[in-house]
């Protein structure tokens, strides 16, 4: 059997556009001689649709797209994800479903059994789970076991502590299907593509059954989908693979012997770069932005964001703005200028000293001659935020904020200042990762100025300021943050790893105390299993003691 894996990039709610993509892929699959084409989860609606699912018209447009598409499915068959109605008088009104389309008709339907409600997922809010596993489709005289995303993620061999009581794949395997198909909207995080492959190859060997997994690709608000769709033979050998972070139609013939296609994992820094580039590109394109503006400080964070943006949107569409005050060194402005020249982006200098002086004069009586402190530092950051937002408003640029995860974690950022923006590009990268990706960018030639990479990090908001005046070395800080935020270890457990108890307590307190800032931050592109934003929900007002 020749099967086409349709790894596509859709837009939530763009039923006309998503239908056009599905039709184009159908034509290409037919021309390639495929007998069956497999599409991702919720192809017509896009994933995740969130509270759009509560709108009746959204559901109806999804059904209209399905019925319009199924009339085109002739000369081959298709498995495709869509929204179905729950006909019962109880439970949630919708099913997350998959249909087998053939000869212009809906031949069979199945519904998702396991509904994830963790991290970025909230499917139990909207969907009714399938009451029993019934994803056995009749096709070409045999049985195909069809599952939807999470249904494949409950193998007792792979998950010592399972989230669900039963395993839909194990139930389907009892009927000895000739093939498993899993349609997906499985988000990217570091290390996940490799684990996803291990999960599929294990199932193929365990049940002596080939597995086809089709995953969507693209950026959807904070979430990035990597694709990495796979075909695995009954020995657990990967025989077809779609690329990371790109659309592709891949046709595999299961009826003949196929060579193994190994996973050539790119360097971690490259994987991060490609994921964030896709996140910027799709967020901009899908929201209707063609150009972006970035505040260029001469530091490493804004340099990395500029590199990503130039690659994602084209250097001609990026404006970098340096906004020096009396505390910024001439070298920082020069570093920003050299970066802009190396990237080929537009560059402007808008000094803020006179604006700052006016603020200080007008606030002098209100401040009652109190000494310079964080207030005046934050004032500079907010002036810069105002300027960048003015450029965004005037010219329709998307403002990309440049704060990293280390800074956002401990509150080393200014609300309504450097946190202004429509998208937080590197908010899920620890400072040490920012350096790692930046060095990867410079692997062949100097794009980010060497002085930017070597000088001590500084916000330059007061004389001779260095980040390390207020924070521990980033190598230490990032280790503690990773243990606390991503591994969710307790204070005692972190101290047990050899860290100073007072320092750990201080860092944890800073993280928790600054939740209110992060709640007001722009959407954060997610590359880890625990990013700030949609997948990490902590109360602002709380008194939990560690």
Q: What is the 3-state secondary structure (H, E, C) of 381-396?
A: HHHHHHHHHHHHHHHC
- Sole residue written with tokens 């249909």: 99
For domain 270-465, give the fold. Answer: Rossmann fold (3.40.50)
**What is the CA angle 282-285-291, rounded to 5?**
115
Predicted structure pTM score: 0.94
296: tokens are: 């260029």
3-class secondary structure, 224: strand
Dist CA 111 CA 135 (whole Å): 7
Terminal Cα distance for the chain, rounded = 58
Report CA Rg, the chain. Answer: 26
Q: Which long-range contacts (CB under 8 A, 24 or more apart) does 163-169 make?
A: 163/114, 163/116, 163/118, 164/114, 166/133, 168/113, 168/114, 168/133, 168/135, 169/145, 169/203, 169/207
At residue 282, the pLDDT reads: 98
Q: Which pLDDT does position 133 carry in this prediction? A: 67
For tokens 């750990």, what's the residue? 504
Q: What is the pLDDT of residues 4-40, one digit of tens each?
A: 999 999 999 999 999 999 999 999 999 999 999 999 9
Structure confidence by residue, pLDDT tens digits, 375-389? 999 999 999 999 999
The residue among 398, 18, 60 whose CA lies nearest residue 185 is 18
Q: Do domains 2-255 and 270-465 have the same CATH topology?
A: no
Active centre residues (catalytic): 41, 112, 149
pLDDT for residue 409: 96
CATH number of 2-255: 3.60.110.10
Low-confidence residues in the chain, pLDDT < 50: none
The DSSP H or E segment spanning 267 is: none
Q: What is the pLDDT of residue 195?
A: 95
Q: What pLDDT score was predicted for residue 274? A: 98
Angstrom distance (rounded) from CA 225 to CA 228: 9
3-state secondary structure of 232: strand
CA distance 302 to 294: 7
pLDDT, tens digit, 9 for 90 and up, residues 197-223: 999 999 999 999 999 999 999 999 999
Sequence-distant (6+) residues with CB within 8 A of 154 are 114, 162, 163, 164, 166, 167, 168, 169
- CA geometry: angle 482, 484, 485, nearest 5 deg: 70
Put residue 329 in one of left, alpha, beta given phi > 0 → left and psi -120 to 50 → alpha: beta
Parse the chain into domains and list their residue ranges: 2-255, 270-465
CA 111/CA 99 separation, integer angstroms: 9
Cα separation values, 292 from 278, 289, 295, 314, 324, Å: 15, 8, 10, 10, 20
**Bridge partners of 238?**
232
DSSP assignment of 132-173: S---EEEETTEEEEEEEGGGGS--TTT-SS-SSS--HHHHHH
At 83 the pLDDT is 98
């Amino acid at each position: 059997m020749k099967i086409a894996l349709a790894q596509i990039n859709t837009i939530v709610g763009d039923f006309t556009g998503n239908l056009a993509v599905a039709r184009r892929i159908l034509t290409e699959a037919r021309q390639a001689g495929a007998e069956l084409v497999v599409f991702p989860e919720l192809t017509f609606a896009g994933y995740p649709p969130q509270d759009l699912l509560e709108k009746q018209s959204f559901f109806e447009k999804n059904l209209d797209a399905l019925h319009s598409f199924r009339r085109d499915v002739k000369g081959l068959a298709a498995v495709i994800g869509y929204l179905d109605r729950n006909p019962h008088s109880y439970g949630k009104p919708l099913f997350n479903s998959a249909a087998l389309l053939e000869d212009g008709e809906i031949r069979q339907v199945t519904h998702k059994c396991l509904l994830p409600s963790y991290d970025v997922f909230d499917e139990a809010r909207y969907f009714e789970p399938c009451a029993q596993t019934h994803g056995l489709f009749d096709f070409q005289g045999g049985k195909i076991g069809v599952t939807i995303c999470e249904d494949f993620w409950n193998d007792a061999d792979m998950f010592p502590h399972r989230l669900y009581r039963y395993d839909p794949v194990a139930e389907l395997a009892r009927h000895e299907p000739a093939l498993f198909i899993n349609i997906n909207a499985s988000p990217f995080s570091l290390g996940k593509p490799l684990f996803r492959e291990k999960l599929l190859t294990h199932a193929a060997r365990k049940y002596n059954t080939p597995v086809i997994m089709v995953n969507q690709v693209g950026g959807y608000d904070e979430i990035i989908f990597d694709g990495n769709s796979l075909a695995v033979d009954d020995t657990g050998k990967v025989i077809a693979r779609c690329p990371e972070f790109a659309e592709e139609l891949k046709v595999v013939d299961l009826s003949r012997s196929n060579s193994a296609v190994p996973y050539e994992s790119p360097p971690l820094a490259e994987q991060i770069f490609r994921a964030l580039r896709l996140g910027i590109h799709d967020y901009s394109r899908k929201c209707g932005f063609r150009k972006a503006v970035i505040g260029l400080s001469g530091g490493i964070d804004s340099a990395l964001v500029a590199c990503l943006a130039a690659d994602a949107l084209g250097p001609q569409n990026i404006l970098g703005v340096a906004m020096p005050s009396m505390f910024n060194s001439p070298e920082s402005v020069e570093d920003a200028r050299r970066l802009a020249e190396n990237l080929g982006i537009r560059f402007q200098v808008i000094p803020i000293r006179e604006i700052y002086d006016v603020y200080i004069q007008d606030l002098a009586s209100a401040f009652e001659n109190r000494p310079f402190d964080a207030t005046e530092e934050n004032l500079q950051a907010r002036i810069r935020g105002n300027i960048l937002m003015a450029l965004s408003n005037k010219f329709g640029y998307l403002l990309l904020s440049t704060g990293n995860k280390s800074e956002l974690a401990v509150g080393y950022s200014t609300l309504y200042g450097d946190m202004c923006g429509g998208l937080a590009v590197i908010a899920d990268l620890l400072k040490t990762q920012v350096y790692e990706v930046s060095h990867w960018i410079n692997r062949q030639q100097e794009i980010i100025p060497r002085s930017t990479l070597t000088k001590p990090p500084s916000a330059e908001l007061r004389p001779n300021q260095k980040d390390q005046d207020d924070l521990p070395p980033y190598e230490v800080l990032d280790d503690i943050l990773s243990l606390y935020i991503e591994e969710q270890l307790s204070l005692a457990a972190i101290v047990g790893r050899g860290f100073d108890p007072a320092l750990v307590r201080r860092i944890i307190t800073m993280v928790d105390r600054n939740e209110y800032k992060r709640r007001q931050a722009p959407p954060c592109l997610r590359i880890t299993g625990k990013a700030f934003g949609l997948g990490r929900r902590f109360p602002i007002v709380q008194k939990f003691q560690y």
